[in-house]
Amino acid sequence: MKHLLPFFGGFVTFLIVSSVFYMGIMPFPTSSCVVPEDQMNIAAMMLGNGLMVGLAAYMISLIGNFSAASGAKHGAVAGLAANGMLSVFTYAFYTCEGAHIFEMNEVLVDIVANMVFMGIAGAVMGILYKRNAAKS
């Protein structure tokens, strides 16, 4: 239970912040090789996001310095590592109709955005871990 509340708090925070960005600010990719938004596998997308948030929660719990600042820092590092690897590998390994699926500027925006989103989620997790650590 000690890890459940921080994980879900971070997960919900990440989903809200990233949904606002990807559904309201950043235009959906128009490449013919990208699945249309209405055909996305939402369960798989949520599982992938959950794995990244889980990595951040694990890092925060290992460090043991439970605060918003520490959580934000480690959340941002988890976002950089997990999303950075995914975005760079997607750019490097996959092409569509003779071109990259995403342009490099889109890759960089995605990496930076996810560092910020995971920093926010990490701050929430740090706060929730601190609150929970006082009870244990």
Q: How many other CB atoms are there within 10 angstroms of residue 110's CB atom? A: 21
pLDDT tens-place string over residues 80-116? 999 999 999 999 998 888 888 888 998 999 999 999 9
CA distance 88 to 108: 9
Output the pTM of the full model: 0.89
Share of the chain above pLDDT 70, in %: 96
pLDDT tens-place string over residues 45-64? 999 999 999 999 999 999 88
Rounded to the nearest integer, the mean pLDDT of the chain is 90
Closest Cα partner for 45 from 37, 60, 78? 37
All structural domains of the chain with their residue ranges: 4-27+42-133
Q: Report CA torsion sign: 104, 97, 37, 83.
A: negative
pLDDT tens-place string over residues 119-136? 999 999 999 999 876 555
The values of phi and psi at residue 27, to 5°, are: -70, 145
